Amino acid sequence: MFKMRLMKAADFDAVAELIFLSTNAWYRERLGHAIFQCRPQDCRIFCEVYDDLDPEGGLVLEHSRTGMIVGSCFFHPRETHVSLGIMNVHPNYFGHGIAGRLLERIIDEAENRDLPLRLVSSALNLDSFSLYNRHGFVPFSLYQDMFLSVPEAGLAGKGDPSLPRVREAGPPDIIAMGRLEFQISGISRERDYCYFIENSAGIWKTYVSLDENGEVDGFLNSVDHAATKLIGPGVMKSEAAAEALLRAQLDRFRGKGVVFILPTEESGLVNTAYSLGARNCELHLGQVRGTARPVTGIVMPTFLPESA
């Protein structure tokens, strides 16, 4: 009844509409609000970003008779792991095993590469948790999604001299960023850093923080697009570096609302976010099928492109 194939550029409009419809339908039914406050076609950004990074990193499942795309997913092979991106099923086809088929195909991809498969998934969606859990995924971290409406005038205290110095990242920082992330979380994704810093779409911004010796001790990215305003991904050695980077990124979103994702165990950083006026909007789990090395710093994941 359904056949799976690689996503093509000609599918982007249909997949964008599927992402918009499926995600908003779930959130409206369970939580009473929509996630995407944009036009359906704005969700093409997911297709375009993953296509830029991995031209064969998108899958669709289509109805054999009608040709309708009823399910889609992205996966992102990196140096140290494979990441599972946003997965969507048309509401009319919930319960038909579509997500499971897509997931099994991506598990095969990770196993063929002999790499762990990682994702960040909603802790509020027990159906998706059960799907991943049945397929061997184990949670390794709990994150709280926080939303902040940044004042038009920006945030007070961003020039606090006690915080590390922050500047915009450039190509010479890529090696240090990769080394730092591997040191903190055991993963590496230097193609992503190149993509963010190159910023051909004009929607990304990456900052690094510097220690007292001028060495990179943290970095944090953000995306500002009609479909998604998110801060992340990033890693930092210390809470001070995380706060300095977060404040710098928040200042980018003056007069706008933005979401960022903090590890729940970083209570000092979470309390700083509360003091700035942030509120919790969801919980997410970092999960892995395979091995995840313990984190030795602070990790702030994101959903575009998926990171964990």
pLDDT in tens, 59-87: 999 998 999 999 999 999 999 999 999 99
Class of CATH domain 2-115: alpha beta
Give the Å distances, CA to CA, from 280 to 150, 242, 273.
15, 18, 10
| Token pair for 54 | 């991995």
Helix, coil or strand: residue 70: strand
| Per-residue pLDDT band at 308 (split at 50, 70, 90) | low
Contact 218, 164 (CB under 8 A): yes
Question: CA-to-CA distance for 236 and 298, rounded, in angstroms?
Answer: 5
For the segment 33-53, the average pLDDT, to the nearest whole number, is 95
Quick one: pLDDT band at residue 219, thresholds 50, 70, 90? very high
Q: Are 72 and 18 in contact (CB under 8 A)?
A: yes
What DSSP designation does 42 have? G
Domain ranges of the chain: 2-115, 144-300
Q: How much is the mean pLDDT over the chain?
A: 95
For residues 92, 93, 94, 96, the Cα torsion angle rounded to the nearest 10 degrees is: 150
Which pLDDT belongs to residue 95?
87
pLDDT at 156 exceeding the cut of 80: no
On the question of a common fold for 2-115 and 144-300, the answer reads yes
Q: Give the pLDDT mean for 40-56.
A: 95
Q: H or E element: which one contains 289?
A: strand 279-289
Q: 241: pLDDT confidence band, cut at 50, 70 and 90?
A: very high
Largest CA distance in the chain: 64
Element (H, E) at 259: strand 257-263
Length, in residues, of the chain: 308
Measured CA to CA, the distance from residue 133 to residue 136 in angstroms comes to 5
pLDDT value for 158: 55
Query: Across the chain, how many H-helices and E-strands are there?
Result: 8, 13
Cis bond upstream, residue 233 (ω within 30): yes
DSSP state letters, 116-171 = -EEEEEESS-HHHHHHHHHTT-EEEEEEEEEEEE--TT--TTTT-TTSPEEEE--G
- What is d(CA 184, CA 237) in angstroms, rounded to the nearest whole number? 7
Q: What is the CATH number of domain 144-300?
A: 3.40.630.30
Q: Is 24 a residue whose pLDDT tops 90?
A: yes
| First vs last C-alpha separation in the chain | 34
Considering the entire predicted model, what is its pTM? 0.95
Flag the least confident range among 11-15, 34-38, 70-74.
34-38
C-beta separation of 84 from 117 below 8 A: yes
The reported pLDDT for the residue numbered 159 is 61
